[in-house]
Amino acid sequence: MITSSLNNKRIKKEYFLVIITSLLFIIYNSLLWILLSNIHMELSDAIILLIIASILPSYLFMIYSIKKHFGITRFYFIFLILTVLFYYGQHLLVIIDKSYLLSQNYTILDGRIDNQSIINASFLIIQSLLLVHIGYFSNVRYRWYDFNSKEVESNRNEIDKKVYKSFKIIAWILFIISAIAMLIKLSYLIQLNQLYGYLERRTLETSEEFTAGLGNFALYLSEWFLPSIYMLFIFNTGKYKKKLMYLIVGVFSILYLMSGSRFLLLKVGMGIFLIQYIWIKPLTKKNMRTIIILGLVGVLILKIISLSRAVSDVSFSSISNIFYELWNGGLFSSILWETGITFTSVSNVIDKAPSVIPLFNGRSYLGSILLFLPSFMRFDFFETYNLVVSATFSPLYYNTNLIGYGSSFITEAYYNFGYLMFPFMILMGALFGKLENLLIKAKVTRNAPLFFLITYVLSELIYIVRNDIYAIPRFVIFYAIVPLVLYKCLNLFFKKKKMAKNETK
């Protein structure tokens, strides 16, 4: 029975073996960490040794264990793959294309950060991910083959009963309102991008002039665009309706890229992937080939956008220069270099905290709570403290406020707690596991509102690979919980109306 399968709370024996193996890897990596910290050798040689002896074996174990037990149609699997690029992209270049790495201005070999901080950050990340792995396997429960496929399919036929009319109405209302607001916002960003360039436009976004020019109303409503897209995708599962939804997402993506930004598309891709291949239908080999091809095209487009940011006047000559740089500069190497910049957020915070900047002592997570309160109850917290980790540490690396290297959940955790952050990593893994349990439970029981909520949360969490966590609870409350509250209210109204109609008969 589905109900009994969903109520199974025991840790399976094979999961327990994964947890024990993760602990053994942590012990082994700790010994190697001590060894490398006490041996004098060139940084590039230390990185090569670190990759071969620690990072590669640890990743092979983690990726193999998640694929073996749960497959690749998992948030956590994609999360792990992304960490390879964002945390160790430049490490890989030390082995496969060191000359390209040395030709760039900002790299792990540029000497701006102490060598020991580079080594410490490299180990800190892989140890943190192994702890996340332990937390995940301690809490995840459900696999597709745990459920009777015929029984699941019979539940699927009741989708119209589960996806209430009120859910559809709220989805369409939010979409229409937010789509207009999003068009206004994107057109404003594109205009600013053309006038000032990407870097200065990003600086303007934090100013009062930006808010005054666009308006708080449009800014707030535009944030409902992605939630409404997810809601529409959930019940528009027919062939032509689904194509329409992909067309809408495609138009949005083009406009968003024209504004010079890129990484919001990571959230969009995560959300649609979960809906398409968990809620609607399983992933097939044919789908996988399509995803790989689209992914490669997407990466190429993102790299072109990155290069075009430095171009103030778009012309045939500038476009030619962009493609020439792509062709001769090594596309794969440039992608590893750029994504690998996120590693600098970890190495730089280890290098500068607490020696230059004191630890934050949990204020980032306190700020997550205070964001919900009225301004008079925040006690000038946000006027005193800046919760954006990159804004605090990037200027110490670049010597300018115009550019930053992003952040990550590991960077944020270390800035708050130092090496006492490790228990927090286990909690993060536990959160991933519990959310995936709820996602599969919602899929099996065809609970569309719950599936939407978890999809939205996971689409936000995928971004913590290169960003802070503190703002996510606020986004979930405002842009996922609020639509569900509206859905519940409208659903209650329809029920009362139906009851009143039956009483009059």
pLDDT tens-place string over residues 388-418:
999 999 999 999 887 889 999 999 999 999 9
Cβ atoms within 10 Å, residue 294: 11
With respect to residue 284, please indicate whether it lies within any of the assigned structural domains: no
With respect to residue 373, please indicate whether it lies within any of the assigned structural domains: yes
With respect to residue 47, please indicate whether it lies within any of the assigned structural domains: yes
Of 151-160, 197-206, 296-305, least confident by mean pLDDT is: 151-160
With respect to residue 86, please indicate whether it lies within any of the assigned structural domains: yes
User: Does the pLDDT of residue 374 top 60, yes or no?
Assistant: yes
Single pTM value for the model: 0.91
With respect to residue 247, please indicate whether it lies within any of the assigned structural domains: no
Q: HSE of 76 in the Cβ direction (CA atoms, 13 Å)?
A: 30
Separation CA 179–CA 453 (nearest Å): 20
CA-to-CA separations, 255 to 187, 245, 272, 446, in angstroms, rounded? 8, 16, 18, 33
Separation CA 153–CA 443 (nearest Å): 11
With respect to residue 385, please indicate whether it lies within any of the assigned structural domains: yes
User: How far, rounded to the nearest angstrom, does the alpha carbon of residue 407 sit from its chain's CA centroid?
Assistant: 12
User: Does the pLDDT of residue 157 top 60, yes or no?
Assistant: no
With respect to residue 189, please indicate whether it lies within any of the assigned structural domains: no
Q: What residue type is assigned to position 196 of the chain?
A: Y
Q: Tell me how many domains the chain contains.
A: 1
Q: Which residues contact 444 (CB under 8 A, 6 or more apart)?
A: 2, 6, 142, 147, 152, 155
**pLDDT number for residue 290:** 82
Residue 174: phi, psi to the nearest 5? -65, -35
User: How far, rounded to the nearest angstrom, does the alpha carbon of residue 490 sit from its chain's CA centroid?
Assistant: 32
Separation CA 45–CA 118 (nearest Å): 12
With respect to residue 360, please indicate whether it lies within any of the assigned structural domains: yes
| SS3 of residue 153 by DSSP | helix
**pLDDT number for residue 5:** 56
Name the residue range of residue 404's domain.
2-146+342-435
Going by the DSSP 8-state scheme, the letter that residue 478 receives in this structure is I
